């Protein structure tokens, strides 16, 4: 019990530190969002009236006063779920913009992340169990080769072959402009059709880390005394592989999977920019490019909370799967 309580307390402390850093870091960046917005609207060669900048600052609700008062106001706003108005997409609120982009990222990155973990873990375990054989050679060498290929190169090759040459899939966008976004089967099918290429580009490289990590971990656990004892007792091969070797070997992968699952809320900037996908990655890129502090802060905060929650879940699951962790904490 002490192990789980310590994990929760560590989560709360880390969350407070993350919220504080999330407030400080954007304010260390140079530039004025209001001035950038006025310059973008007026043009590069046009003179900028200081009164216009002051009016835009008031319209956007940019923070005034000391840093400490801004920090207090920020904490109160976060507790109430009020993240302000987006400077880039004014007059829409930050919550509205994230609500529009988050489902796209969760579906695309979440599904591919889970599939990549399952496929990679199973292939890695099978390669370790049949180590030094043809299957192990093909899986290991194939994963190593694919891991050397730049992701953007794979994405561009898929666009050229499957979108421009064969015209099997659209080259960009999340859905067709002729279909109104809704929960209808027509829209969901169209959205799945548009997400096929981004998902395929992610799935080509997503299992690689899980394959190599699971294989190496399981090769190590196969040489442990408890695995040899299980084999000497005459237990079925499948039970030895899954219940004794793979159960321990998968623990590092579980931690990595949980942390990767938490980063889903931040999206995948490169994927979404290449394919013009309307997710959190593109939203983050626009926020950084336009010094949109409220939108930047909220996306970073959501990503951080997602990683911390996923890490907490991994710690708890780690303690459930491996009793030695709980005993070390109680000792």
CB of 129 closer than 8 Å to CB of 250: no
- The predicted structure's pLDDT at residue 324: 59
- Where residue 43 falls among pLDDT bands split at 50, 70, 90? low
- The predicted structure's pLDDT at residue 158: 86
- Where residue 3 falls among pLDDT bands split at 50, 70, 90? low
Give the residue-averaged pLDDT of 304-308.
80
Bond before 91 cis per omega within 30 degrees? yes
Q: Got the DSSP string for 253-291?
A: HHHHHHHHHHGGGG--HHHHHHHT--SHHHHHHHHHHTT
| Radius of gyration from C-alpha coordinates of the chain | 24
- The structure's pTM equals 0.70
- The predicted structure's pLDDT at residue 63: 61
Reported as a single tens digit per residue, the pLDDT across 255-275 is: 777 767 666 665 577 778 888
- With 0-12 / 13-18 / 19 or more C-beta atoms within 10 angstroms meaning exposed / middle / buried, residue 328 is exposed
- The predicted structure's pLDDT at residue 46: 64
Q: Residue 98 pLDDT > 60, yes or no?
A: yes
Reported as a single tens digit per residue, the pLDDT across 143-169 is: 888 877 777 788 888 888 888 888 888
Answer CATH for 94-330 from 1.10.3720.10, 3.30.70.260, 1.25.40.10, 1.20.272.10: 1.10.3720.10
Q: Residue 315 pLDDT > 80, yes or no?
A: no
- The predicted structure's pLDDT at residue 157: 86
The percent of residues in the chain predicted with pLDDT above 70, rounded, is: 80
Higher-confidence position of 125 and 33:
125
Q: Got the DSSP string for 33-59?
A: HHHHHHHHHH-TTS---HHHHHHHHHH
Long-range contacts of 92-97 (CB under 8 A, 24+ apart): 94/294, 94/295, 94/298, 95/298, 97/283, 97/295
Reported as a single tens digit per residue, the pLDDT across 167-199 is: 888 887 777 777 777 777 878 888 888 888 888
Q: Residue 311 pLDDT > 80, yes or no?
A: no
- The predicted structure's pLDDT at residue 251: 73
Both structure tokens of 329: 């904490």
Q: Got the DSSP string for 192-243?
A: HHHTHHHHHHHHHHHHHHHHHHHHHHHHHHHTSHHHHHHHHTT--HHHIIII
- The predicted structure's pLDDT at residue 62: 59
Beta bridge partners of 93: 85
Q: What's the maximum distance between 2 C-alpha atoms anywhere in the chain? A: 84
Q: Residue 226 pLDDT > 60, yes or no?
A: yes
Q: Residue 23 pLDDT > 80, yes or no?
A: no
């Amino acid at each position: 019990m002490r192990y789980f309580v310590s994990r929760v307390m560590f989560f709360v402390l880390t969350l407070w530190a993350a919220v504080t850093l999330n407030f400080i870091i954007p304010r260390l960046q140079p530039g004025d969002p209001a001035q950038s917005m006025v310059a973008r609207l007026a043009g590069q060669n046009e003179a900028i009236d200081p009164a216009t900048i002051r009016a835009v600052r008031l319209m956007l609700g940019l923070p005034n006063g000391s840093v400490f008062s801004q920090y207090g106001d920020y904490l109160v706003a976060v507790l109430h779920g009020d993240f302000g108005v987006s400077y880039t997409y004014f007059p829409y609120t930050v919550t509205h913009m994230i609500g529009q982009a988050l489902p796209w990222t969760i579906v695309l990155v979440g599904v591919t992340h889970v599939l990549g973990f399952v496929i990679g873990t199973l292939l890695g375990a099978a390669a370790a169990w049949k180590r030094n054989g043809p299957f192990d050679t093909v899986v290991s060498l194939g994963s190593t080769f694919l891991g050397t290929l730049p992701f953007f190169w794979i994405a561009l090759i898929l666009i050229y072959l499957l979108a421009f040459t064969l015209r099997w899939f659209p080259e960009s966008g999340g859905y067709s402009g002729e279909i109104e976004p809704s929960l209808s089967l027509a829209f969901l099918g169209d959205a799945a059709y548009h997400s096929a290429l981004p998902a395929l580009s992610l799935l080509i490289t997503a299992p690689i880390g899980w394959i190599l990590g699971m294989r190496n971990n399981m090769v190590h656990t196969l040489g442990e005394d408890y695995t040899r004892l299980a084999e000497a007792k005459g237990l079925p091969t499948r039970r030895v592989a899954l219940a004794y070797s793979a159960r321990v070997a998968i623990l590092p992968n579980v931690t990595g999977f949980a942390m990767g699952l938490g980063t889903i809320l931040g999206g995948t900037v490169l994927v979404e920019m290449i394919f013009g996908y309307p997710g959190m990655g593109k939203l983050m890129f626009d926020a950084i490019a336009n010094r949109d502090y409220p939108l930047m802060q909220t996306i970073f905060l959501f990503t951080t909370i997602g990683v911390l929650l996923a890490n907490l879940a991994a710690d708890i699951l780690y303690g459930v799967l491996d009793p030695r962790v709980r005993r070390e904490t109680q000792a």
